[in-house]
Structure 1
Amino acid sequence: MIGWVYRDGVDPDPRFTLANERTFLAWIRTALALVAGGVALEALGLPLHPGLRLAASLLLLGAGLIIPVLAWIGWGRAERAMRRQTRLPAAVFALPLAIVLTAATVLIVLGLLFV
């Protein structure tokens, strides 16, 4: 399953590999926080407009579902680049995450205003 990462190149400095793994784990923690936030929005029954609360919750849950997959791909791309001694790839999902979080926040604010 991870042969696409390790099949070529040379082992990089272990410090860089471990830093790459810590970055992956940080994205996993972010995904867990998004899932917790999405569940909390619905489970706590906050005084928000129900439709807007549900939409914000689904956005957070969707991001929490997708981020681990993207984190795994990002980890592999970075590890492969280090093994090949090429440039590290750009982070491709930071901007979409920022957009999702902004949209969820707007929905929550609107939900507060239109109870």
Structure 2
Amino acid sequence: MVRTRFPRNVYRDGDEPDPRFSLANERTFLAWLRTSLALFAAAVALEALQLPIQPAWRLAAAAVFLILGLVAAAQAWIGWSSTERALRHNSPLPGLSIGGVIVIGVIVGAALVFIGSLV
């Protein structure tokens, strides 16, 4: 009996790559998920803790971190699937897709927290 693997759009084409590369790709996926969880935790902490930050600035920063958490989770899935497809087809690996947005967003979120603590 042939087992089908999820997601089919990744595993239906190409050849099995060296398992070390697939496992490294999976570790990167998990690292993006940890980043996503950390961004969610930052958003929750800003709203749950009594921090000396002006409420509007705190809410804006929490919203930024919440959105970035969702973006990081999307990056985990998109990055994993596109890299796994590239490995299976022996083609060049994709570049950083959404990661730059997350870097800029973290800077914006941190700036909002900083400004909110000064006002």
Q: Which runs of 5+ in 2 are unaligned?
A: 1-5
Cα distance in 1 for partners of 2:11, 2:116 equals 48
**Corresponding residue number in structure 1 for 2:108:** 103
Q: CA deviation at 1:21?
A: 0.1
Cα distance in 1 for partners of 2:72, 2:118 equals 30
* 2:73 aligned with 1:68: yes
**Corresponding residue number in structure 2 for 1:23:** 28
Q: CA deviation at 1:13?
A: 0.2
Whether contact under 8 Å (2:71, 2:98) holds in the other structure is no
Cα distance in 2 for partners of 1:45, 1:54 equals 13
**Corresponding residue number in structure 2 for 1:80:** 85
Cα distance in 2 for partners of 1:95, 1:65 equals 14
The 5 A counterparts of 1:41-56 are: 41-56=46-61
Task: String of CA shifts for 1:23-55, please: whole Å, max 9, x gaps.
Answer: 000000000000001100110020101000000
Tell me the percent identity.
50
Cα distance in 2 for partners of 1:49, 1:100 equals 20
The aligned amino acid for 1:97 is I
Structure 1 stretches (4+) deviating beyond 3 angstroms?
A: none
Cα distance in 2 for partners of 1:81, 1:46 equals 45
**Corresponding residue number in structure 2 for 1:92:** 97
**Residue of 3, 8, 17 corresponding to 1:12:** 17
When the two structures are aligned, how many residues end up with a matched partner? 114
Cα distance in 2 for partners of 1:39, 1:11 equals 41
Cα distance in 2 for partners of 1:8, 1:65 equals 29
Whether contact under 8 Å (2:54, 2:116) holds in the other structure is yes
Task: String of CA shifts for 1:78-108, please: whole Å, max 9, x gaps.
Answer: 0000000000000111110011000001101
